[in-house]
Amino acid sequence: MDDIDYRKEIERLKSELDVTVAVHYYQRDEVFELADIKGDSLELARKCQQDEKEWVVFCGVGFMGQSVKVIAPHKRVLMPKVACCSMARMIDSSYFDDSVDFMVRHGIDREDIMPITYINSDVDIKAKVGRMGGMVCTSSNAPVIIEKALSSGKKILFVPDRCLGQNVARQMGVKSCVIGEEGCEPKDADIICFDGFCSVHQLFTVSDVEFYRRRYPGIKIAVHPECDPSITEIADFTGSTSQLIEYIKGLDEEQKVAVGTEYNMVHRLRPKNTYILSSTKPECPTMNETTIEDLYRTLKSIEDGEPINEIFVDEETVHYAREALERMLAI
């Protein structure tokens, strides 16, 4: 294996096969550089749906590959590593049912619950949400989706990311609470959040923000909405990965900025005046699992007629998960 020039071989395989390589911004540089399409989770889902190639090799985490399979079931989707986002792992079907039961026990009728799942969740959760008439959202469209959901007059059950739920609630001026936290009373809140979180975005702290502001007066602080509300409240800008890229591109060259999101994306952003908002390297372990060798092996498996790590989702799950995803895409 050692004497293979992976880059060259991957370029050859891409030119000979009917395949698109889709890569999330958080992937390692060696993989990112070989992407046909790049983006945040929403952009990648849309672009893969519109793409005409038979095969998608998706470099990201499991729920992203599943989402492509759900909205474009005719495609063959392979993942070089079927790595599971740690936040997505925090909720399963029984925790979801327990959360619905919690709201019912607190006096909310089942029919009055509108579940919304962040795209960072397993396909089974999306299907559960779809069955209940709910929707998916991503970090870039969460405010629009939640606004739409609130206009139905229902209570929102937001899973699995409590930070995104609370951040959007604050931005919209509505009330939220987190299941399991003292005083969480669904009758008094508009958005009832499940208690999940991203272990990577929890690394950014108020002390980090204070440190950078002391060290570089005038520095901008830009963070992802998976950060704790104590951070987003004091940041200058909060946005999804694509929104962060746009914001930073729009800054004057001399403007310093400290960014609170995954390391691989931040270090590629700008050669100068850009800092990681943490004293710890905030790498997403599951995003980092995919290597150039994995990408090569996956493409080669198509050429050899023995595809590896293919994503399969049963028809019923596709049906309901698709309803939840399409309600989002329609907005």
H helices of 191-272, in order, are 206-215, 229-232, 241-249, 263-269
User: Residues in the site for ligand SF4, rule: CB under 6 A?
Assistant: 61, 85-87, 120, 198-200, 226, 262, 284, 286-287
35 binds, among ligand SF4, ligand 13P, none (CB under 5 to 8 A by kind): none
**Any contact of residue 232 with ligand 13P (CB under 6 A)?**
no
138 binds, among ligand SF4, ligand 13P, none (CB under 5 to 8 A by kind): ligand 13P
Q: Which residues between 284 and 323 bind ligand 13P (CB under 6 A)?
A: none
**Any contact of residue 228 with ligand 13P (CB under 6 A)?**
no
Rounded CA separation 255/234 (Å): 18
Annotate 221-233 with b (16+ C-beta within 10 A) or e (fewer).
Answer: bbbbbbbbbebbe
Rounded CA separation 66/263 (Å): 24
Compute the least distance from the CB of residue 261 to ligand SF4, in Å: 8
Compute the least distance from the CB of residue 95 to ligand 13P, in Å: 19
Q: Among all residues, whose Cβ is closest to ligand SF4?
A: 85
Nearest to 262 by CA among 243, 249, 278, 273: 278
- Of the pair 121, 301, the CB lying nearest ligand 13P is at 121
Compute the least distance from the CB of residue 304 to ligand 13P, in Å: 31
The token duo for 12 is: 């050859």
Look-up of token digits 């729920």: 63
240 binds, among ligand 13P, ligand SF4, none (CB under 5 to 8 A by kind): ligand 13P
Displacement of CA 76 from its chain's centroid (Å): 21
286 binds, among ligand 13P, ligand SF4, none (CB under 5 to 8 A by kind): ligand SF4
**Any contact of residue 167 with ligand 13P (CB under 6 A)?**
no
Nearest to 238 by CA among 216, 218, 217, 220: 220
- Of the pair 13, 203, the CB lying nearest ligand 13P is at 203
Crossing angle between the packed helical segments 162-172 and 142-150, to the nearest 10 degrees: 70
41, 99, 117, 264: residue in contact with ligand 13P (rule CB under 6 A): 41
- What end-to-end distance do the CA atoms of the chain give, in Å? 47
The token duo for 156 is: 């929102």
- Of the pair 99, 120, the CB lying nearest ligand 13P is at 120
- Of the pair 120, 301, the CB lying nearest ligand 13P is at 120
- Cα angle value 3/7/13 (rounded, 5°): 100
Q: How many CA atoms lie within 13 A of 133 on its CB side?
A: 11
- Of the pair 61, 129, the CB lying nearest ligand SF4 is at 61
Compute the least distance from the CB of residue 147 to ligand 13P, in Å: 18
Interacting residues with ligand 13P (CB under 6 A)? 40-41, 85, 120, 138-139, 198, 226, 240-241
